[in-house]
Amino acid sequence: MEREKKVINSKLKTPYQNFVIAPLLKLSLLRNIDPKALTFLSLFFGLLIPFFLPLGLPTLSLLCLALSGFFDTLDGALARHVGKTSSQGAVLDITSDRIVEFMVVLGLYLVNPGGRSLLCLLMLGSILFCITTFLVVGIFTQNTTAKSFYYSPGIIERAEAFVFFALMMIFPAAFIPLALIFICLVIATGLIRIYQFMNFS
């Protein structure tokens, strides 16, 4: 478990965090914003995706995805920076994340309902399985991280999932292979998480 904690801590210090998020946290204006408001902004932009994507607006959909991910990372970082982390914020954040992921898959499905229904269903199933392992392991693992909830690492985390979603939006002709790879990696993430918990906790 100590190795997992080190992995989590190292992932928190990514170039994105250092060069994008960290400078923003120094702005006095941002400190007056409720982190939960940023969570709702993340949710808002995610909700727009299934409206834009079926209309043949992948660039606009991609922008909404990027903004949703941006505010999702900023809300937690801001909460930790100003000492406003809370169980309520963690619940809101996790719930918002799942809604956004569903909306993205819904948007991808609506692009071609007849040809994408099975793969989108399998994508949702793999996400459901993976998030279940994430939450269950988090419940039974002592949290020593800066976050309100123990975050166990995996092959596919939210950043990697967003990369796959973005590629599916930009390259619709490659949806099938991208979806299959995504499904396999998400399931593998859940299985590895269970294995690590059962054998190393």
pLDDT greater at residue 14 or residue 177 = 177
CATH code at 135?
1.20.120.1760
> Would you state the pLDDT for residue 151?
62
What is the tally of structural domains in the chain? 1
CA separation for the pair 163, 122 (Å, rounded): 18
Structure tokens at 26: 């120094």
pLDDT greater at residue 44 or residue 80 = 44
Buried b / exposed e over 65-88, threshold 16 CB at 10 Å, is bebbbbbbbbbbbbbbbeeebeee
Structural contact between residues 145 and 8, judged by C-beta atoms closer than 8 angstroms? yes
Band (162; pLDDT cuts 50, 70, 90): very high
CA separation for the pair 16, 24 (Å, rounded): 12
Average pLDDT over residues 151-168: 88
> Would you state the pLDDT for residue 121?
98
Structure tokens at 75: 């809300």
Half-sphere exposure of 33 (CA within 13 A, CB side): 21
Q: For residue range 62-71, what is the model confidence (pLDDT) as tens digits?
A: 999 999 999 9
Q: For residue range 14-70, what is the model confidence (pLDDT) as tens digits?
A: 788 888 888 888 888 888 899 999 999 999 999 999 999 999 999 999 999 999 999
The residue segments making up the domain with residue 145 are 2-200
* pTM exceeds 0.75, yes or no: yes
